A = this chain, B = another copy of it.
Amino acid sequence: MTFNVTIIGSNSAVPAHGRHPSAQVVNVHDYLFLVDCGEGTQMRFHEHQVKWNRIKQIFISHLHGDHYFGLVGLISTYHLLQRNKPLDIYGPEGLEAIIRLQLEAGHTTLCYPLQFHVIDTTVSKVIFEDKGVEVMTIPLHHRIPCAGFLFREKFEGRKVDKEKLAALQLPLHLIPPIKHGEDITDPHTGRIIPNKELTVPHPPARSYAYCSDTAYSETVIECVKGVDLVYHDCTFDKASEARAAATFHGTTEQAARVADAAGASQLLIGHFSARFENLDTLLEEARAIFPATELATEGSVFDVGVKAPHTAYN
């Protein structure tokens, strides 16, 4: 089942070198979630062929503009395109007032329900859940209240063993009751087949953690333990550690240490400072510590749970 992340914007506050402010689309079982929404995100959806009309939940990490200045425009465009399904926005205190003030200034009464959910950025807590995914906050260590988001897929019951059904020549109409956990009467032999014989456990649930913006934090490591894919703030290179600390951002080395200590399978680095036109050094520095590192650059799509090789950091 699909579980991937499309990078819409990879840069930190000042757009530069063709890179844009933060935004990502997380696809879990074909449900799309938007994570952060920097200026111009709606224009970028077109570029990257994102089916953005399918987004129903948006998660905003914090109220620095490079993470949400595109939100009011997206909300307006949904209105102009006559959206009718609800839009749920999860973000820090203050976001709703900012959006509502702008809608009021334009005398805009939205044609769809817009619901805001204030998140507590200081705790790790489930803030959204449906049958296929749960989303938890990750307390980040930044200049202003800021949370990351952990997406973990969920499965209900067990998975139908299609090979077994084929071997027993069971008709297709039996699939729904089997999915619902029922035992089945074999139409050929009259034998009652226990559900467990026709199903297998789902594969382990995969997970993706979005950690931007943040200084190096042990709390983050705890929250993302065992995650398959982790995205971590990597605004700076190793040499700029003091600058990173002063601005509550991460370096290549710190991002890699977090991924390693958390036992993640793969690391994405992003939120690059405009001072780095070329990102090769950043990638090399992170890979020196955590080889399974990739640059989260615009348009890249990363499958969650693809086990890239990785070597422990000493």
Interface residues of chain A, those whose CB is within 8 Å of chain B, are: 13-15, 20, 39-40, 42-43, 46, 63-66, 69-70, 72-73, 76-77, 80-81, 94-95, 97-98, 101-102, 105-107, 143-144
Contact = CB atoms under 8 A, between A and B. Distances in A.
Contacts of A64: 106
Given A69-B73, A95-B105, 17 more contacts: A13-B77, A14-B77, A15-B42, A15-B43, A39-B40, A39-B42, A39-B69, A40-B40, A40-B43, A63-B106, A64-B106, A65-B73, A65-B76, A69-B76, A98-B105, A107-B143, A107-B144
Nearest to A77: B14
Tallying the copies of this chain within the complex gives 2
A98 B102 contact: yes
A7 to B, nearest CB: 17
Contact of A14 (B15, B81, B105): B81
A20 B105 CA distance: 21
Most chain B CB inside 10 Å of its own CB: which residue of A65, A80, A94: A65
18 contacts: A14-B77, A39-B39, A39-B40, A39-B42, A39-B70, A39-B73, A65-B72, A65-B76, A65-B102, A65-B106, A69-B76, A94-B105, A97-B101, A98-B101, A98-B102, A101-B101, A105-B144, A107-B144
A69 to B, nearest CB: 5
Contacts of A43: 15, 20, 39-40
A80 B13 contact: yes
A72 B69 contact: yes
A107 B63 CA distance: 9
A40 to B, nearest CB: 4
A59 B207 CA distance: 47
A144 B108 CA distance: 10
Contacts of A80: 13-14
Contacts of A14: 77, 80-81
A64 to B, nearest CB: 5
Most chain B CB inside 10 Å of its own CB: which residue of A43, A46, A95, A105: A105
A20 B43 CA distance: 9
